[in-house]
Amino acid sequence: MDIQIVRAAFKARFNTEGAVYASPGRINLIGEHTDYNGGFVFPGAVDKGMVAEIKPNGLNIVRAYAIDIDPADGEANYVEFGLKEEDKPKEHWACYVFGVCRELQKRGVEVKGFDTAFAGDVPLGAGMSSSAALESTFAFALNEIYSGNIDKFELAKVGQMTEHNYCGCNCGIMDQFASVFGKEGCLIRLDCRSMEFEYFPFNPKGYKLVLVNTCVKHMLGDEYNQRRKSCENVVAALKPKYPNIETLRDVTYDMLEEAKPLVSEIDYRRAHYVLGEKDRVLAVCYALEKGDYETVGQKMYETHWGMSKEYGVSCEELDFLAVLAKECGVTGCRVMGGGFGGCTINLVKDELYDNFVAKAKAEFTKMFGHAPLVYDVVIGNGSRRIA
């Protein structure tokens, strides 16, 4: 992200200079829709993210300028709002900033009025968590600027609760966690029940990780929340018999069969996917430790088709790319993030990379009338002050 764009825009609008903070988007190798089920995830931060310049303005209002928003698309790119619960702005992008302020206040941080301009290079709605990058940037920055004493875990929660309470998505903790805790060259294996995590150096010799963006934009909301509800329904159905279970993490295949007559066919199918995904993350960790990338890739494909056929969060364009990847000999390919559009993540042998990328661009364009975007993954650092 070019920090100069943000600095110039801030200076032009507010005629002063503030502190500059950045937070990344994320990838996730495997472990999708497991976070809110108490399972494992395997994300890493990317070298793309959000950059915000911020300076307290001595007022009780926030003056926020979203450089990337084009007012011609229907939303103002400059918004002023107060810091009380009833001051929630109507612009969707501004709700993220507002929500972070409110969640910090709820945790005792005395956030006051400030000026900010921000921009990012994580593609929006591509499944790379542009929203978490935005939340983490402001959570990290405002905690520092207003001398809050909030640790990094809680900063990730501030972002997650912003989504729940102000943006309509009951997401898990993965994205905000990865954005805050990211470390160059490392994936992070996170146990979303105990919140224990481990950095995992990731540099597979002879392979590249590449994202192919369908450019089908999604905004996670109702559809996502319904998936989460299905998982909770299965847990609720089993609770009378197994009072100690809290999430699908605690549910076995045998238990799921017991729940089958008690829940809808859709809920059953979705929970079945989650149980498989729990096992796949651990299988991938084990395979990575042995350098067995063939198994890693095979599990990625299994995840893709589980997300498509069982969990119901893929789309035609993503399925097309998964089939094409297989035909091109790509080791692993799957839809990444919440789904409903966005990117596939691909583990590709170096020697197959050029052919795969060329084919994906040509065939996808022929089929859908627009070209996909391709990004090589570089695993970068988490939230930080940069100027």
List the catalytic residues. Answer: 175
Which of these segments, 33-41, 92-100, 303-311, 378-386, binds ligand GLA (CB under 6 A)? 33-41
Q: Which of residues 43-82 bind ligand GLA (CB under 6 A)?
A: none
Which residue, 10 or 177, is less far from ligand GLA as judged by CB? 177
Which residue, 103 or 115, is less far from ligand GLA as judged by CB? 103
Q: Does 337 bind ligand GLA (CB under 6 A)?
A: yes
Q: According to CB under 6 A, which one of 32, 115, 135, 267 is a site residue for ligand GLA?
A: 32
Which of these segments, 1-9, 28-36, 59-67, 363-371, binds ligand GLA (CB under 6 A)? 28-36
Tell me the closest approach of the beta carbon of residue 277 to ligand GLA, in angstroms. Answer: 9
Tokens representing residue 354 in the block:
């050029």
3-state secondary structure the chain: CCHHHHHHHHHHHHCCCCEEEEEEEEEECCCCCCHHHCCEECEEEEEEEEEEEEEECCCCEEEEEECCCCHHHCCCCEEEEECCHHHCCCCHHHHHHHHHHHHHHHCCCCCCCEEEEEEECCCCCCCCCHHHHHHHHHHHHHHHHCCCCCCHHHHHHHHHHHHHHHHCCCCCCHHHHHHHHCECCEEEEEECCCCCEEEEECCCCCEEEEEEECCCCCCCCHHHHHHHHHHHHHHHHHCCCCCCCCCHHHCCHHHHHHHHHHCCHHHHHHHHHHHHHHHHHHHHHHHHHCCCHHHHHHHHHHHHHHHHHHCCCCCHHHHHHHHHHHHCCCCEEEECCCCCCCEEEEEEEHHHHHHHHHHHHHHHHHHHCCCCEEEECCECCCCEECC
Which residue, 158 or 328, is less far from ligand GLA as judged by CB? 158
Tell me the closest approach of the beta carbon of residue 171 to ligand GLA, in angstroms. Answer: 3
| Cα distances (Å, whole numbers) of residue 73 to 91, 120, 182, 248 | 12, 17, 32, 40
Which of these segments, 1-9, 27-35, 194-202, 289-297, binds ligand GLA (CB under 6 A)? 27-35
Which residue, 219 or 262, is less far from ligand GLA as judged by CB? 219
Q: Does 310 bind ligand GLA (CB under 6 A)?
A: no
Q: According to CB under 6 A, which one of 29, 30, 35, 143 is a site residue for ligand GLA?
A: 35
Tell me the closest approach of the beta carbon of residue 63 to ligand GLA, in angstroms. Answer: 28
Tell me the closest approach of the beta carbon of residue 39 to ligand GLA, in angstroms. Answer: 10
Which residue, 32 or 302, is less far from ligand GLA as judged by CB? 32
Q: Which of residues 134-193 bind ligand GLA (CB under 6 A)?
A: 171-172, 174-175
Which residue, 6 or 156, is less far from ligand GLA as judged by CB? 156
Which of these segments, 30-38, 205-213, 238-246, 315-323, binds ligand GLA (CB under 6 A)? 30-38
Q: Which of residues 194-223 bind ligand GLA (CB under 6 A)?
A: 220
Q: Which of residues 123-142 bind ligand GLA (CB under 6 A)?
A: 129
Query: Applying CB under 6 A, which residues contact ligand GLA?
Result: 32-33, 35-36, 129, 171-172, 174-175, 220, 337-338
